[in-house]
């Protein structure tokens, strides 16, 4: 039986997947574990009443487990480990690798001052990721096999690439070859291609935050 999941719909395209990296993280996990699912696309600026009835906080993603709707991608991904193949749990010592990339990306993206240090902060995080991948051989954070930490980072790196490319004409420096190889390995997966939002919807999602 297919699991039901509510994810963000694209702005202006209610039948297409929107730009929520946390929704994509859960979809990636479902795809990697080959768990059948049925996705409901939710217009987050005009949420349907049935959705608010089952999920009063109104956040996506939510997944229905045993007749109960469960929010929070961290919690959902943890529950999905009950599907044993393939195991995606990240070794604890690698669980926080790259964890500050998303927040430093957002600060740099919103920044209007080129000298405020936000770009440097992001580069420091990407450098640390590059060093980790170099040291541990990659292509993924825990080595040869993809794990939950990669599925959490992949959508965030996609947002970084699309949004910074569009709004700041910025891209990950060529001096970080391991990060480039990592991004290529993630984005090239069938699970990623099936669950990514189109670039124009990623841009549309960030537009009001960049130019309020």
pLDDT tens column, 55-95: 999 999 999 999 999 999 999 999 999 999 999 999 999 99
pLDDT of 168 over the 90 cut: yes
Given a contact cutoff of 8 angstroms between Cβ atoms, the answer to whether 28 and 154 are in contact is yes
pLDDT at 212: 85
The whole-model pTM stands at: 0.96
pLDDT tens column, 126-163: 999 999 999 998 899 999 999 999 999 999 999 999 99
Residue of 92, 56, 90 lying closest to 71 (CA atoms): 56
pLDDT tens column, 16-48: 999 999 999 999 999 999 999 999 999 999 999
pLDDT of 7 over the 90 cut: yes
Using pLDDT thresholds of 50, 70 and 90, give the confidence band for residue 177. very high
6 is catalytic: no
Domains of the chain: 3-80 (3.40.30.10), 92-210 (1.20.1050.10)
pLDDT at 138: 85
pLDDT at 80: 96
Rounded distance between C-alpha atoms, residue 23 and residue 154, angstroms? 12
Using pLDDT thresholds of 50, 70 and 90, give the confidence band for residue 1. confident
> Per the residue annotation, which of 6, 9, 10, 20 is the catalytic one?
20
pLDDT at 69: 96
Residue of 68, 90, 67, 58 lying closest to 77 (CA atoms): 90
Q: Which two tokens stand for residue 172?
A: 């990950």
Per DSSP, the three-state class of 82 is coil
pLDDT of 125 over the 90 cut: yes
């Amino acid at each position: 039986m297919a699991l039901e999941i509510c994810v963000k719909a694209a702005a202006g395209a209610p039948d297409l997947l929107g730009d929520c990296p946390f929704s994509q993280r859960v979809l990636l996990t479902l795809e990697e574990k080959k768990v059948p699912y049925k996705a409901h696309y939710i217009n987050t600026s005009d949420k349907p009443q049935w959705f608010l009835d089952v999920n009063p906080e109104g956040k996506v993603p939510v997944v229905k487990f045993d007749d109960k709707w469960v929010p929070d991608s961290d919690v959902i991904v943890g529950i999905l480990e009950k599907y044993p193949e393939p195991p995606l749990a990240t070794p604890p010592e690698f669980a926080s690798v790259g964890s500050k990339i998303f927040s430093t990306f957002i600060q740099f993206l919103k920044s209007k001052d080129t000298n405020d240090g936000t770009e440097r902060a992001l580069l420091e995080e990407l450098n640390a990721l590059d060093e980790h991948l170099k040291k541990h051989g990659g292509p993924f954070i825990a080595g040869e096999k993809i794990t939950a930490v990669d599925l959490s980072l992949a959508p965030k790196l996609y947002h970084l690439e699309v949004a910074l490319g569009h709004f700041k004409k910025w891209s990950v420096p060529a001096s970080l070859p391991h990060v480039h190889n990592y991004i290529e390995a993630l984005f090239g997966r069938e699970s990623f291609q099936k669950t990514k939002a189109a670039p124009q919807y990623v841009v549309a999602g960030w537009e009001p935050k960049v130019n309020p």
